[in-house]
Amino acid sequence: DGGITQSPKYLFRKEGQNVTLSCEQNLNHDAMYWYRQDPGQGLRLIYYSQIVNDFQKGDIAEGYSVSREKKESFPLTVTSAQKNPTAFYLCASRPLGGNEQFFGPGTRLTVL
Using the rule CB under 8 A, is 90 a contact of other proteins? yes
**Alpha-carbon torsion 6, 93, 79, 107, what sign?**
negative
Looking at 18-26, 38-46, 67-75, 78-86, which segment touches other proteins (CB under 8 A)? 38-46
In the list 27, 56, 62, 81, the residue contacting other proteins (rule: CB under 8 A) is: 56
Q: Which of 107, 61, 66 is nearest to 81 (CA)?
A: 61
In the list 11, 45, 60, 61, the residue contacting other proteins (rule: CB under 8 A) is: 45
Using the rule CB under 8 A, is 61 a contact of other proteins? no
Using the rule CB under 8 A, is 16 a contact of other proteins? no
By CB atoms closer than 10 A (0-12, 13-18, 19+), residue 66 is: buried
